[in-house]
Amino acid sequence: MVDPSMMVFDLTLLKSGKRDMRPKKIKPRRITQRLVEFNLAREVHYIQRRAGERDARFVTAGKLAFFSCETGDAWILDPSDRLAAQIARDGDPEPFEFEETDTTFTIRWKGHYHIDGSAFVYTDQTSGRVVTILGYPTSQIAQLG
């Protein structure tokens, strides 16, 4: 039996002047949707460009968060482990080390952060220097966990 959803009727006129009402089988068409895969380099460059234009943005991608501020600063965060790396300062890209393959990525985190009210508190893991910054999207960051 022919599945009615797979039938199409050819309504062209035959030479006799009658319509051809015989069902014709058609193959179902697959509609493929290209899934946009996560690309760390693309996300980093995007948020660095936003910072360069002094455009405040907040983006999450998987377990990571990226944000830029009107001050020209931009950061990448791993909220689950409170890891942070500044990727732009005063609108200029900062050096940022990572490795990315088709299936994985590794980030060399520069330090840790925590939120203290409206303050973003960053501790550099190399120097131990602690910096408190106001004006960052701390309420959005705090919601991440």
Give a yes or no: residue 51 inside a domain: yes
pLDDT at residue number 12: 42
Segments forming the whole domain that contains residue 44: 40-143
pLDDT at residue number 54: 97
Helices (DSSP H) in the chain: which residue ranges? 40-52, 138-143
Give a yes or no: residue 96 inside a domain: yes
**Beta strands 74-78 and 64-68: pairing type?**
antiparallel
Residue range 69-102, pLDDT digits in tens: 999 999 999 999 999 999 999 999 999 899 888 7
Residue range 33-77, pLDDT digits in tens: 444 567 899 999 999 999 999 999 999 988 999 999 999 999 999
Give a yes or no: residue 107 inside a domain: yes
Domain count, the chain: 1
Give a yes or no: residue 18 inside a domain: no
Pick from 145, 71, 73: which is nearest to 114 by CA?
145
Residue range 99-129, pLDDT digits in tens: 888 788 899 999 999 999 999 999 999 999 9
Give a yes or no: residue 133 inside a domain: yes
